[in-house]
Amino acid sequence: MKKVHNFNAGPCVLPDQAIENSIEALKDFAGTGMAVIEVSHRSKEWSAVMDECRALWKELLNIPDTHEVVFLGGGASLQFLYVAMNFLENKAGYLETGVWAKKAYKEAKGLGNAFAVASSADKNFSYIPKGYEIPTGIDYFHITTNNTIYGTEIRYDMDSPVPLVADMSSDIMSRPVDVSKYALIYGGAQKNVGPAGVSFAIIRKDALGKVSRYIPTMLDYKVHIDGGSMYNTPPVFPIFVMKETLKWLKGVGGVEAINRLNVEKARILYDEIDRNPLFTGTAAKEDRSIMNVCFVMAPGHEALQDEFLEFAKGQGMVGIKGHRSVGGFRASIYNACPKESVEALVACMQDFERKSK
């Protein structure tokens, strides 16, 4: 089905199988004679989709009984506010690693007392701060595990003396995660687990109920846990596609298998960036993301940037222009991006090198 090599940062490439099954469900959903977007969200056929989706999340990420997963509207950006609403009482600490981290931090500052524990703003977020200490006595410590725009990533589950909150929008399900180390993991679906229109939150239940403010109903995680993500009408179609995306992930071996493939894909591309004299990577090597690979023209070759973009476009590469705050190029190689696409991009970079000699 794929006709191009899709490196979009989000929304982005999804598994063919998930798209095909979703198209079928638009024609006739579970033998109901209706499209999946026409049935009642209280029907037993729809309930089965919700149950299956939740079960896939729990199985794939090995979510312990202490935690519950919910599906919400409003994107990761609304959850920046949910986090502060549900967890901020006195003071919260944020790790400032990019634009998304700053936006999350801003919502907490708007609601109370929040501060940056460490920041990599001094070098345009090209690295992950190290050597800082997570303060004790704060309500929570917020991290962004993958910095989609800058191509840096925290690829391990850190120990934290305070509740750990993580925006995993762009690397959720890319590797096994020790969910028990987090009070909250949240993100938008549209990078690794589905289309735009639904977001997810994995919440440690006993971390809730500790703030004194009134929490507006729709911003209260507990309301969504108690309502089984159906306090109000859920985004049915995005949830359906998410369920199909997770079914695909399970079919290819789950998060361990996809992690191996993701590491391999990233290695292939970074090796070429490091070898090819025309290109250079922008993120600190030890912090390189396996999801978003950022690179620019090497010093002395800057003038070739637009030419390479045109050349790559001609070879079927889509979405490799870097974010405007970094420039250059970004190849997002999420779970559903096939290794063949990564190899095609590498071949394209090599062709361009030959052609430019």
Ligand X SMILES: *Cc1c(COP(=O)(O)O)cnc(C)c1O
Residues in contact with ligand X by CB under 6 A are 10, 75-77, 100, 144, 148, 167, 169-170, 188, 191, 199
Distance CA 320, CA 305 (A): 11
Residue closer to ligand X, measured from CB, 71 or 100: 100
Please pick, among 100, 220, 243, 321, the residue that the annotation labels catalytic.
Answer: 100
The minimum distance between CB 239 and ligand X, in angstroms, equals 14
The minimum distance between CB 102 and ligand X, in angstroms, equals 10
Sign of CA dihedral 221, 225, 230, 232: negative
Minimal CA–CA distance to 337: which of 95, 6, 63, 3? Answer: 6
Asked about 46 being catalytic, the answer comes back as: no
Is 90 annotated as belonging to a binding site?
no
Residue closer to ligand X, measured from CB, 199 or 282: 199
The minimum distance between CB 34 and ligand X, in angstroms, equals 29
Report the SS3 class of residue 225. helix
Chain-centre distance for alpha carbon 183:
18
Is 232 annotated as belonging to a binding site?
yes
The minimum distance between CB 180 and ligand X, in angstroms, equals 22
Is 147 annotated as belonging to a binding site?
no
Please pick, among 167, 171, 220, 287, the residue that the annotation labels catalytic.
Answer: 167
- What ranges make up the beta strands (E) of the chain? 5-6, 67-72, 92-96, 114-119, 140-144, 146-147, 152-153, 164-167, 184-188, 199-204, 279-281, 292-297, 317-318, 329-332
Is 289 annotated as belonging to a binding site?
no
Distance CA 133, CA 93 (A): 11
Looking at this protein, which amino acid is placed at residue 180? S
Residue closer to ligand X, measured from CB, 165 or 348: 165
Residue closer to ligand X, measured from CB, 259 or 292: 292
> In sequence order, which residues have a C-beta less than 8 Å from that of residue 161 and are 6 or more positions away?
134, 136
Is 204 annotated as belonging to a binding site?
no
Asked about 210 being catalytic, the answer comes back as: no
Asked about 191 being catalytic, the answer comes back as: yes
Is 335 annotated as belonging to a binding site?
no
Task: Using the CB atoms, write b or e for 182-206: b if 16+ within 10 Å.
Answer: bbbbbbbbbbbbbbbbbbbbbbbee
Please pick, among 57, 157, 171, 191, the residue that the annotation labels catalytic.
Answer: 191
Distance CA 75, CA 83 (A): 13
Residue closer to ligand X, measured from CB, 8 or 169: 169
Tokens 């290109």 locate to 279
The minimum distance between CB 148 and ligand X, in angstroms, equals 3
- Residues that constitute the known binding site for L-glutamate: 42
- Residues identified as active-site: 100, 167, 191
